[in-house]
Amino acid sequence: MSAEHLAELLTVLDLTPVGSSGAGSDAFTGTHPSRNPVRTFGGQMMAQAFVAASRTVPENLPPSALSMHFIAGGDPAKDLDFQVFRLRDERRFANRRVDVTQDGALLGTALVSHLAGGRGLEHNIAAPEVPAPHGLPTIDELLVGYEETVPHFVSALRPIQWRYTNDPAWVMRDKGGQLDHNRVWLTADGPMPDDPVLHAAAMVYASDTTVLDSIITTHGLSWGFDRIFAVTMNHSVWFHRPIRFDEWVLYATSSPVAADSRGLGGGHFFNERGEALATVMQEGIVKHFPGR
């Protein structure tokens, strides 16, 4: 079933150029998958905006950064429109702005940069020591017995394999624990096209999962068990190395601060060799309504 979900994600990332100039158009239309939350999933919107920007730059320019500011929620029953603005083009770098609209309303704006930096100084944050993904329980196994607690997870589109190295929020909460970090192995659940844009876009899509979890698990809370409202305000990704999302990558996240009903979640993607592939930071409004 998840392989079918991956095919859906790849279809969603295959944006339709708008206008007579075909693939050279700077306007695109994007669809939604068959399974959606109440509002357009932020990871989907970001990944589509990233694809739109990347389709307007030369293939030899890899991505260096993406920053998305969310303004309004999207309606999954309607297509999304992506307008790409070419801010600057040079031989080794390019800058794009992507406005995401629906029925004329602005849902979000992304700034995307591409840069071919060449060889230079290198160092690397150490990857956390965690078990290898093979042999860890699948997300389906971790949801058994919690179908009524987190039904939105059970019914969600799952184009990606997840292997938690720690208890996910709902299991941790059931055990009465607390956790100041989350570490999960991810990979596409099926073959991926040999297109670096799609591999990076799949990682951008996945970067909007689990990143805010450490805000609530730090306090021993969980989706489903506790009355929590959360919405993403902005999300940034810095790309360090080429990404193969048909290989296992570790997404290690934590929350450095939460205050004024806002929290930061962030972390890094690592490959199995321990090399940092990308850094992520997300700010969200997170409100907890304790029971009486």
Q: Is residue 173 part of a domain?
A: yes
pLDDT at 244 exceeding the cut of 80: yes
Full residue range of the structural domain in which residue 206 is found: 2-117+136-288
Q: State the pLDDT confidence band at 19, using cuts at 50, 70 and 90.
A: low
pTM for the predicted model, two decimal places:
0.95
Please count the CA atoms within 13 angstroms of the CA of 53 that sit on its side-chain side.
35
Number of H helices, E strands in the chain: 7, 12
pLDDT at 24 over 90: no
122 within domain boundaries: no
pLDDT tier, 131 (very low <50, low <70, confident <90, very high otherwise): very high
For residues 101-106, average pLDDT = 97
Q: What percent of the chain has pLDDT over 70?
A: 97
- Contact at 8 Å (CB) between 200 and 50? yes
Burial status of residue 183 (CB atoms within 10 A of its CB: 0-12, 13-18, 19 or more): buried
* pLDDT mean across residues, the chain: 94
Sign of CA dihedral 49, 54, 57, 62: positive
pLDDT band at 118 (very low <50, low <70, confident <90, very high): confident
Q: 127 lies in a domain?
A: no
Contact 199, 253 (CB under 8 A): no
Instruction: Give domain status of residue 129, yes or no.
Output: no
In a domain, 128, yes or no: no
Q: Does residue 282 or residue 117 have the better pLDDT? A: 282
Number of alpha carbons in the 13 Å side-chain half-sphere of residue 258: 21
Closest CA to 157 of 43, 26, 272, 54: 43
Instruction: Write out the two tokens for 125.
Output: 């944050």
Task: Give the residue ranges of DSSP H helices in the chain.
Answer: 2-13, 42-54, 139-143, 151-154, 169-175, 196-206, 213-217
CATH of the domain at 211: 2.40.160.210
Q: Determine how many CB atoms are found less than 10 A away from the CB of residue 197.
A: 18
- At 63-94, the pLDDT tens digits run 999 999 999 999 999 999 999 999 999 999 99
Cβ neighbours of residue 16 closer than 8 Å, sequence gap 6 or more: 28, 29, 30
* pLDDT of 21: 47
Please give the residue that has the higher pLDDT: either 59 or 200: 200
Residue 261 DSSP label = T
**Torsion over CA of 276, 43, 147 and 142, rounded to 10 degrees?**
-10
Give me the amino acid identity at 257. V
For the stretch 214-236, pLDDT in tens is 999 999 999 999 999 999 999 99
Region 120-143: what's the mean pLDDT? 95
User: Residue 39's pLDDT is what?
Assistant: 93
Least trusted range by pLDDT, from 22-31, 110-119, 161-170, 248-257: 22-31
Lowest mean pLDDT among 21-30, 95-104, 113-122: 21-30
The backbone region for 97, taken as left when phi is positive above 0, alpha when psi lies in -120 to 50, beta otherwise, is beta
Q: In 3D, which of 204, 170, 172, 174 has the Cα closest to residue 186? A: 204
What is the distance between the alpha carbons of residues 12 and 265, in angstroms, rounded to a whole number?
Answer: 26
Q: pLDDT grade, residue 157 (50/70/90)?
A: very high
Q: What's the one-letter identity of residue 56? A: T
What is residue 138's DSSP assignment? P
C-alpha distance from residue 201 to each of 76, 184, 204 (Å) = 19, 18, 5
Q: What is the pLDDT of residue 291?
A: 72
* Domain-located, residue 279: yes
Q: What pLDDT is stored for residue 20 in this prediction?
A: 44
> How many separate domains does the chain show?
1
pLDDT > 90 in the chain, percent:
93
